[in-house]
Each structure stands twice: as C-alpha cells, then as structure tokens.
Amino acid sequence: MPLNSSSLTLRVQADQTSLLDLATGQIKLDWGQSPLALGSGVAANQADRLFTDRRTLAASASEDLDLAAVLLDAFGATLTFARIKGLIVKADSANINNVIVGGAAANGFVSWAGGATHTVTVRPGGVLALWAPDAVAYAVTAGTADLLKVANGGAGSGVTYDIILIGASA
C-alpha cells in the first residue's frame, strides 16, 4: 500500500513574565513549524511506508522492532524500511516507568542515535520526535542495522507507548 502523504506539525507557545522595579516585563513565544510535509515516494521530502501501533511492555521488559520485513502496516502488508523519515514515540502519561528507545544489543538501528549503546529516555507523558525529510534520512540496513530497541525503564509496572514510523522503501 502506498503512503499518499504525511506531515508533522510542531508548535510551542509560552508566556513568561517578570516583575521589574517599575513595570512588568512579558515575553510571548508562539513558534511553530507547520506543516513539515512529505509527499508520496522515496526521494527527498517523500515517504512510502507507515507503521503505527500502541504497545505495552511488562515490567523490566524490552522488545526489538525489526524495521526490515517483519512489521506489518495497518492493512497487514509486510513493511521493509530502507530509511526512516519520521520516528515518534509517545510514552503514556499513566506510566510510572520511563520508556527507553535505542541501544539494541546487535543489529541496532542507530543512524539516528549516533552509536550502538546510545538511548533516549522518554518520560511518562513525554514524546520523542525525529523528522528527517531529506533523501538520506536515517538509514536502515536489513540484517545489520534494522532493530529498534524499546524498553521499559524499570521494574514493578508495565509501560505503554505509541509509536509512529514514517519512511521510505528505497
């Protein structure tokens, strides 16, 4: 199944005030990137693969998501990513433990992280979002660099997380 289009909207709004001697200072921030879009295809600013899921890991558990020919799309078709253009992990706000992304023991998908043992901690209610619309994006190599490890950061309780992977097959 082809992916027709995808986009990411990112917006930060903040209001900061400070009491000064004779006045109140105020700064309002309204910053956004809307939308960061990808068309259909495998070149720069394009994607043709989508994986989405809500997943739960038991206490102290982890899983390796194989990005090359194991994951299924929403229609049951096997996905083989050659490049990841968007990686989003959202930890459920009800989690007690953190969700740890990265650090697969072997064949790790690490082009986004910089090294085989590097990880990112996604705290309860937090989000990890990466967007690489260029033609190179984050490379996936079947059999040697295709496992995205996701782990429960602690013992005693499970964690739930949502994952979205947007990528290209070539």
Facing residues of 40 across strands? 47
How far is CA 42 from its chain centroid?
A: 19
- Provide the 3-class DSSP secondary structure of residue 30: strand
What does the pLDDT read at residue 93?
98
* pLDDT tens sequence across 63-72: 999 999 899 9
User: Quick check: 57 and 151 in contact, CB under 8 A?
Assistant: yes
Place of tokens 């994952």: 163
C-alpha to C-alpha distance for 151 and 59, rounded to whole angstroms: 9
Facing residues of 30 across strands? 13
Could you tell me the CA-to-CA distances from 86 to 3, 8, 60, 117 in Å, in that order?
A: 13, 9, 27, 21
- What is the value of pTM for the model shown? 0.92
What does the pLDDT read at residue 33?
84
What is the separation, in whole angstroms, between the first and last Cα of the chain?
15
- Domains of the chain from N-terminus onward: 38-168 (2.60.120.10)
* pLDDT tens sequence across 71-126: 999 999 999 999 999 999 999 999 999 999 999 999 999 999 988 999 999 999 99
